[in-house]
Amino acid sequence: MDNVFDSRIVVLLIRIALIFAAGYIVISVVGLILGRRWLSELGPFKASEPIERLEKGAEALETNLAEAVKTIEDLEERLVDSDSALASARSDIGDLLDHIDTMEAEKEGK
């Protein structure tokens, strides 16, 4: 058995094999981490369940946010309509007051 490791070629091939094995392990771990599959279960603990709950909670919050944005847009439209109606009403009141003043002036002038 000692004679096998005396050859420089065998030692070189073993070193190359160890380098490739280490590279494969590193690349696999990085791939699992990026795919969110690294350590998803550790004994009785499962990381996937809390992540699913968080994702569902995030989806619910996004839905609520979309509804709130729609409500805000509707309220903004109603506010613009109310502002234009108020401006029209003020203009009408101003016209009525001018008409009343004209009528009073004519009444006093007679």
Residues in CB range of 38: below 8 A, 6 or more apart? 29, 32
Q: What is the mean pLDDT of the chain?
A: 86
pLDDT tens digits, 67-81: 999 999 999 999 999
CB 48 within 8 A of CB 41: yes
The stretch 87-109 carries a mean pLDDT of 90
Q: In the chain, which ranges are continuous DSSP H helix? A: 8-34, 48-109
Angle at the Cα of 65 from the Cα atoms of 50 and 75, rounded to 5 degrees = 165
Domain ranges of the chain: 1-38
- 86 — phi, psi (to 5°)? -65, -40
Place of tokens 């699992």: 32
Residue 53's alpha-carbon distances to 36, 43, 76, in angstroms, are 15, 20, 34
Count the Cβ atoms, other than its own, within 10 Å of residue 93. Answer: 10
pLDDT tens digits, 45-94: 666 666 778 888 899 999 999 999 999 999 999 999 999 999 999 999 99
